Structure 1
């Protein structure tokens, strides 16, 4: 019940309901009409706010980790995502998406907080060969005043076949803007703050795709201040349709191609989206089931 989160925060802060309402009203414009009666009904469990408001309140309470409770309460949010992913994963992939293969047993997940040279070379080549993107990943491998976190998750089958990856940075927006400008060949201006930039990601099964949502959440929560935006590239129509429902802004496009992502009357190698973090986390498509993840995956806790 979401009301327990509100009451816990209010008790910890020592606020009356009227004082908490006044604080929440200034947090986001969606709460401008909030009153004590509504807050009381939320707190007592008689009603509950929309999912987007729940996520916004968890961010306000600095309790985003409790989103896991919402996932358990709202399994129905898996419905639309499941249908899209079933359509995406019903067929084997083309050779352009090698070296990926479908899983036959439990998948091992390994996290790298610094990329070994062979990984830098592999993903640099991957970006160029699959997405036609020339990007020097060495720039992202060392922490500096602009980069808060670098991470690579890899998914391997029991016979060590690579089946998925998530390579990302969390960095100040001026750093990301400079990096994106090199990719899309035009100047990009961003607001103050930091963003999560998913450099490259791929999933060979819908289970890996769903698990990736949890990894994105964990990445967002691993830094001192929650990034305002998430930059993610779609390389197929299913991925683009998911992002399009999140009020995402298109900020870049790859080369035109005959078999790419459809946009208006053209097809592109990829489309780069900017998504508001709140929209991403509160969307029906942002779903994970930790219990099923536990059965499907082996977590390699060693940070390499």
Structure 2
């Protein structure tokens, strides 16, 4: 009799006692029993780790660690768990994600039927307080080639793919220097390095649930200088990798420039004026944009942060439309 493949489910944890309990229970409730749950705590100050230790003591499939090396962050925690994973397949979750009871059974069955791929991508449904309180689904169809599309928007999220373990290891796991955008970085590197994948758009295959607020933002999402610095680093590394692989077309340059503009605007909005100006100037110096686009973008950053405009959706919308007419295509689509 053929042995069923094991799935290693990996979760970083930090001060999410109530939320991670729901996540753990959604794993325990899986109809597919060949799994292990690996959780690495990132220095929680609530009783998260005590709860996780208790769960590990009563269920041998659950293994928990505390992060004992730098840097702090979800990427380091995920990589520590990945180093200890014994499964054939890997599924990454955030500590507030939930799985449908049939998730692992469905994904392993489909993966066995599509074994020549490195990872498979599934649709995910939003929820706020409980599963079913929203019906909208996170999935986007690609309009360009995969890489160009992903440079503009994230087309799937952390829990969307199920991976072959060797595929994640081949691309080096998560970048531990990044405080945010780690999943986007991982997915883009997988595409750049030619990993084979298949996306399932059928809404009937929804098997995971993403917790959000009523604005479609992750509950942990907020603008801070540290997060913006990490976004800058992620895009700088991405730009360098695209150059190295000779995959940096003019369109892709504009895609990266759009992120630079968005980050510059956010820097400006929290008072980091010098960082905002320096980053947008970097886009010009690297040749991502023309001098005229630079000047228009600079006015956009300044105008969007004027109190009158920031507090008026109508005025802000008019200003953005004007700039969209003047800047190259895609530059303001973030």
- Fold shared by both chains (TM-score > 0.5): no
Q: State the TM-score, normalizing by the size of structure 1.
A: 0.22
Higher relative contact order structure (alpha carbons within 8 Å, sequence separation ≥ 6)? 1
